[in-house]
Amino acid sequence: MNAILALGLALLTLLILVQGRYGLVTLISILINLGLMILTVILIAGGFNPVVVSVVVGLMILATTIFMNQAKPDVAGPAFVASLLVMAVFVGLVMLVFYFSQTAGFGNEDGETLEGFSTAIGVSFQQILIATGLMSTLGAIAEAAIAVSAGLATNEIQPGAGQSAMLAEIIGTAINTLFFGFFGGFSALFIWFARLSYSFSQIINNKVFVGELLEVLLAVIAVIMTVPTTAWIVHSRQRRG
The whole-angstrom separation of Cα 230 and Cα 174 is 15
Q: What letter would DSSP give residue 110?
A: G
The whole-angstrom separation of Cα 16 and Cα 10 is 10
Q: What is the mean pLDDT of residues 141-170?
A: 73
72-83 CB burial, b ≥16 within 10 A, e <16? eebbbbbbbbbb
pLDDT at 25: 82
Contact yes or no for 37/131 (Cβ under 8 A):
no
pLDDT at 152: 78
pLDDT at 39: 92
- The enclosing H or E element of 152 equals helix 138-153
Q: Over 80: is that where the pLDDT of 182 sits?
A: no
pLDDT at 236: 81
Q: Over 80: is that where the pLDDT of 71 sits?
A: no
Give the DSSP per-residue string, 18-67.
HHTTHHHHHHHHHHHHHHHHHHHHHHHHTT--HHHHHHHHHHHHHHHHHH
The whole-angstrom separation of Cα 185 and Cα 200 is 20
Q: pLDDT (tens digit, 9 = 90+) per residue, 198-241?
A: 888 877 777 778 878 888 888 888 888 888 888 888 888 777 76
Q: Residues 6 or more apart from 184 whose CB is under 8 A from it? A: none
Q: What letter would DSSP give residue 210?
A: H
pLDDT at 78: 86
Q: Over 60: is that where the pLDDT of 33 sits?
A: yes
The whole-angstrom separation of Cα 57 and Cα 39 is 9
Q: pLDDT (tens digit, 9 = 90+) per residue, 95-132?
A: 888 887 777 766 665 555 555 566 666 677 788 888 88
Q: What letter would DSSP give residue 159?
A: T
Exposed, middle or buried by CB within 10 Å (0-12, 13-18, 19+), for 187? exposed
207-241 CB burial, b ≥16 within 10 A, e <16? bebbbbbbbbebbbbbbebbbebbbebbeebeeee
pLDDT at 162: 60
Coil, helix or strand at residue 186: coil
Q: How sure is the predictor about 56, in pLDDT bands with cuts at 50, 70 and 90?
A: very high
